[in-house]
A and B are shown apart, each in its own frame.
Chain A
Amino acid sequence: MPTFDLSNTPLRELNSALHGLAAGANDTEFEVINPRGSHAVAVGIDSPVKVAVHGSVGYYCAGMNDGGTVTVHGSAGPGVAENMMSGAVFIDGDASQYAGATGRGGLLVIKGNAASRCGISMKGIDIVVHGSIGHMSAFMGQSGHLVVLGDAGDALGDSIYEAKLFVRGAVKSLGSDCIEKEMRPEHLEKLAELLAKAGVTDVKPEEFKRYGSARKLYNFNIDNADAY
């Protein structure tokens, strides 16, 4: 198992090794030690590698991940798993702002709290946060699921499209055009599946409320024609 010590190895060596794996290679498990807040750790993975990062990372860890599994045994800086395509990213600690931003697929699990703008402009990613999330989360979320076991900050789901939001705790305020919606059986089923994938065993889907788009903002309403 290759180990990269970022206290004495340039980051580019790690990322090049992750990108340069031949198809069918067997040695697909990587360890990263001493990340010490480095930026762009394990970005651009495009094969089903496993990366374990021991320590906290800075900006854009696991960005653009396509098929890899990245576990950070520490906390993550801004933009973790930004624009993830597929695969999974697990953060043991907290995540800073815009975790999972613009993600198109895959699963992001944050065991601590996430700061502001979690899941901003999400486009298919599933995000499960064991703790709470900050303000403006899921802003303009288009598709995918955001599951929050704790509380949500101000303006949750502002200008949201079709992303589905599930919050177990309190929501400080809902953003424009975001409303609480009925929890139907298919939602409970999806929630149970996501909780299981995220390793949550002591919480039931029935404890959550669902939020989503009122669909008044993104459909043109002829009554508003005068406003243009």
Chain B
Amino acid sequence: MCGIVGLFLKDKSLEPQLGELLSDMLIVMTDRGPDSAGIAIYGSAANGRAKVTVQSANPDADFAGLADALKAEGIDASIVIKSTHAVLDIPADKADAVRSVLSNIRPDVRVMGSGESVEIYKETGLPKDVVARFDVRSMAGTHGIGHTRMATESAVTTLGAHPFSTGADQCLVHNGSLSNHNNLRRELVREGMTFETQNDSEVAAAYLTAEMAKGKDLGQALEGALDDLDGFFTFVVGTKSGFGVVRDPIACKPAVMAETDQYVAFGSEYRALVNLPGIENARVWEPEPATVYFWDHEKAA
């Protein structure tokens, strides 16, 4: 059992409240999984810049002098430190290079995710503590997803927490368990994907990244997941401008959605949605099994 939430804003006036709304949704889901929690928020993107969210178990040591150390390697970074995480704002053309530089100069630092707009924060512990630690409530953005974990397929660690990000501005949260993740991981490794954990959900994220790299959009990649992933899943997925939901054909893992003129919201349970503005008049429904739902800011415009 896990709890997952997602919120995709259509109404720009709600964007300053995204962190606040998503935090409350996630905290309500705490009793579905108290092991770890995480949140991905798509905030503002600046032209020519990339954001890289990194994590360290020893942030005092690892983040001290990091900007200078990166500059010595030719990367101009402005760094915002939040507890065990730091967001590096760097030139977009350094987004790939920074990973190998970091593994040399700060080998214990892990990259949580990167892209033009996404920031990812995840840790072991309760959602309320994780949310407070990273000051998620103050964050603005266009859409975001969150997860509270009851571990089944891999250890309770920071890296085993969701969301999983395996491609630029892509991330995924999962409720369920996959049964063919080992085979699929081997195939994806052969295609050049790299993995940080033994976690099944990371394989699902990497699968979608690999499919989108072949030219599929998020909706098409999710359609493919229905054929290629075996097991139980309700996924909520974010891309730079998109937001998708899919459930396996058996659809044991719960899911409720709500849509108004202002937003599309997802919760493992209706409880997660009750504080959203205008929920009384929202269209509330249970997503159908084996059916892909996705919304895109760019395509909707």
Could you list which residues of chain A lie within 8 angstroms of chain B, going by C-beta atoms? 36-38, 56, 58-59, 75, 77-78, 94, 96-97, 115-116, 134-135
B270 and A116 contact, CB distance less than 8 A: no
Whether a CB of chain A sits under 8 angstroms from the CB of B274 is yes
A116 and B269 contact, CB distance less than 8 A: no
Contact for B289 among A36, A56, A134, CB less than 8 A: A134
Report, as a range, how many residues of chain B touch the other chain.
10 to 19
Known: A96-B254, A97-B251, A116-B251. A37 touches B270 (CB 8 A): yes
Contact for A77 among B249, B252, B270, B285, CB less than 8 A: B270
B270 and A75 contact, CB distance less than 8 A: yes
Could you tell me the distance between the alpha carbons of A134 and B288 in the complex, rounded to whole angstroms?
9
Whether a CB of chain A sits under 8 angstroms from the CB of B284 is yes
Could you tell me the distance between the alpha carbons of A78 and B32 in the complex, rounded to whole angstroms?
14
Could you tell me the distance between the alpha carbons of A100 and B274 in the complex, rounded to whole angstroms?
25
B286 and A94 contact, CB distance less than 8 A: yes
Residues of A within 8 A of B274 (CB): 36-37
Closest-CB distance, B45 to chain A (whole angstroms):
35
Residues of B within 8 A of A59 (CB): 269
A56 and B270 contact, CB distance less than 8 A: yes
Contact for A96 among B272, B273, B286, CB less than 8 A: B286
Contact for A78 among B249, B254, B273, B285, CB less than 8 A: B254
Could you tell me the distance between the alpha carbons of A94 and B270 in the complex, rounded to whole angstroms?
12
Whether a CB of chain A sits under 8 angstroms from the CB of B12 is no
A36 and B286 contact, CB distance less than 8 A: no
Whether a CB of chain A sits under 8 angstroms from the CB of B128 is no
A75 and B289 contact, CB distance less than 8 A: no
Could you tell me the distance between the alpha carbons of A209 and B274 in the complex, rounded to whole angstroms?
39
In chain B between 261 and 301, which residues have their CB closer than 8 angstroms to a CB of chain A? 269-274, 284-286, 288-289
Please name 5 further chain A to chain B contacts, defined as beta carbons within 8 Å, in addition to the given A77-B269, A135-B289, sorted by A numbering: A37-B269, A37-B274, A58-B271, A97-B286, A116-B251
Residues of B within 8 A of A36 (CB): 271, 274
Residues of B within 8 A of A96 (CB): 254, 256, 286
Name 28 A/B residue pairs within 8 A (Cβ), A-sorted. Answer: A36-B274, A37-B269, A37-B271, A37-B274, A38-B271, A56-B270, A56-B284, A58-B269, A58-B270, A58-B271, A75-B270, A75-B284, A77-B254, A77-B270, A94-B285, A96-B256, A96-B286, A97-B251, A97-B254, A97-B286, A115-B286, A116-B251, A134-B251, A134-B288, A134-B289, A135-B249, A135-B251, A135-B289
